[in-house]
Structure 1
Amino acid sequence: MVARVSRRLSRAWDPFRFDLNLLRELSGIVWPEGRDTRRRSAAMDLRLAGADEAGRGCLAGPLVAAAVILDYARAPFPGLEDLTDSKVLSARARESLYPLILRSAVRVSWVACSPSTIDEDGLHRCNLSALARALENLRGEYRLALVDGFELAFPQLRAQAVKGGDHRSAAVAAASVVAKVVRDRLMRALAPLYPDYGFEEHVGYGTERHMEALRRHGPCTLHRRSFQGVAAPQLELWEE
């Protein structure tokens, strides 16, 4: 179903082509690439949503889920040629892509799940709920939604799980960038309120500096107290 193409940076996988081929397959329409492709595409509903989350593995701060609609009738999307999974992009690259995604998208949504809610309801439940709410905020203005790795049991969302979706699909990759940028900005904005923890540097991940701060000061209100690294940061192994 998906063509492999040669692109700048020797990128073998084209996430935009993956999305477009999927939309065409849903419509039961197959045609070769040609000069009239855009005219034929305009007659189809080519609005595809992608959803992904950021901060799942953090010890502190919210989990943020984002959803983005790309309308492939408007493709190509200037500036997004190298869009991919946010985890393999530098912070500078994500910040550069963020406004371009907002400009290119039909609609963008994000939802934050607080540390206390994660502790009360569990990480997995919060993850699914945040993804579903982010998609709900798109008001159904899409043909299909692709979700990175998770099945959502809400038929009205028209959502399909895609393993490795943040790499395979441009819509999911766009959502991954939005979620990551929004979350990192939130953590940096909150950092001055908790100067002992260095959130502006690690944004809640379990770095050496973060673990040392937990051992010295204990958890703050931003920490997920149900997480093992937060509940027992003082535990260390010593060789006799």
Structure 2
Amino acid sequence: MIVCGVDEAGRGSMVGPLVVAGIAIERSKIKTLEQLGVRDSKKLTPASRRRLYRQILNLADDYAVFRISPKIIDMHVARHQLNHLEALYMARIIKKLGPHTSYVDSCDVNASRFGKELEKLSNISNIKAYHHADAKFLVVSAASIIAKVTRDRAIEKLAKSYSIGSGYPSDSRTITCVRNCFAKTGKMPDFVRKSWAPAQKIANYQAA
């Protein structure tokens, strides 16, 4: 019995990709995930996530990871379709992995509706969407780790050229970096999500 867990990382970030990841694993191996110390990626240190990342991929029967660029994110935000964008990529993962049952962390306030959308998009049934699924199901926790480590690596790559901070608008280093980049070139860098309110505020202030 193959089960799948799907989660994302970086949805609220101002910069960098939104990463959606999924793993497929025999149900009998889920106990091993627990023994390895797998849990919601937000409750783990970066070092623990990196260690578990490799162990999870070695244990999983299959996995899939998609990185969604700021440009694609901005296009969908303009249409008020950010949840739909996430659903599209989650459905692609589930379709690729072909599990008997899938557990998904819902970004929709109506988790049941989100699960039905995924079933329609993937043409696969038995998709169970829940809020905080990454804290409820180990297979989703494992997917959250894969997504988070992949996302962290993308930010680390940016950090080699920019003082980007965490990438989230609550981080003053991120705001300062984006403000400085815009001031130097008169436009937002490609790694910034231009549809985010803090980015628009910076652009409007500099243009005034």
The alignment's TM-score, normalised by the length of structure 2, stands at: 0.80
Q: 2:111 maps to which residue? A: none
Unpaired runs of at least 5, structure 1: 1-44
Distance 1:75 1:234 in 2: 47
Task: Judge conservation of contact 1:112–1:130 (CA < 8 Å) in 2.
Answer: no
Q: Deviations over 1:25-80 (max 9, x none)?
A: xxxxxxxxxxxxxxxxxxxx2x2100000000000111110011121234542674
- 1:168-207 alignment to 2 at 5 Å? 168-192=136-160, 195=161, 197-199=162-164, 201-202=165-166, 204-206=167-169, 207=171
Task: Judge conservation of contact 1:59–1:224 (CA < 8 Å) in 2.
Answer: yes
Distance 1:75 1:61 in 2: 31
Task: Judge conservation of contact 1:79–1:97 (CA < 8 Å) in 2.
Answer: no
Counterpart code for 1:225 = K
- SS at structure 2 position matched to 1:222: coil
The structure whose Rg is larger is 1
Counterpart code for 1:224 = R
Q: 1:17 maps to which residue? A: none
- 1:1-240 alignment to 2 at 5 Å? 45=1, 47-74=2-29, 76-77=31-32, 80-122=35-77, 123-138=82-97, 140=98, 142-150=99-107, 151-152=114-115, 153-155=117-119, 156-158=123-125, 159-192=127-160, 195=161, 197-199=162-164, 201-202=165-166, 204-206=167-169, 207-218=171-182, 219-233=188-202
Task: Judge conservation of contact 2:49–2:145 (CA < 8 Å) in 1.
Answer: yes
C-alpha displacement of 1:223: 0.4
Task: Judge conservation of contact 2:4–2:101 (CA < 8 Å) in 1.
Answer: yes
Aligned length: 184
Label 1:135 to 1:183 Cα distance change in 2 as closer, same or farther (>3 A).
same
More helix by share: 2
Distance 2:142 2:33 in 1: 13
Q: 1:3 maps to which residue? A: none
Which has the larger displacement, 113-122 or 123-132?
A: 123-132
Identity %, equivalent residues: 29
Tell me the C-alpha RMSD between the 2 structures.
2.0
Distance 2:87 2:29 in 1: 30
Label 1:177 to 1:75 Cα distance change in 2 as closer, same or farther (>3 A).
closer
Q: 1:13 maps to which residue? A: none
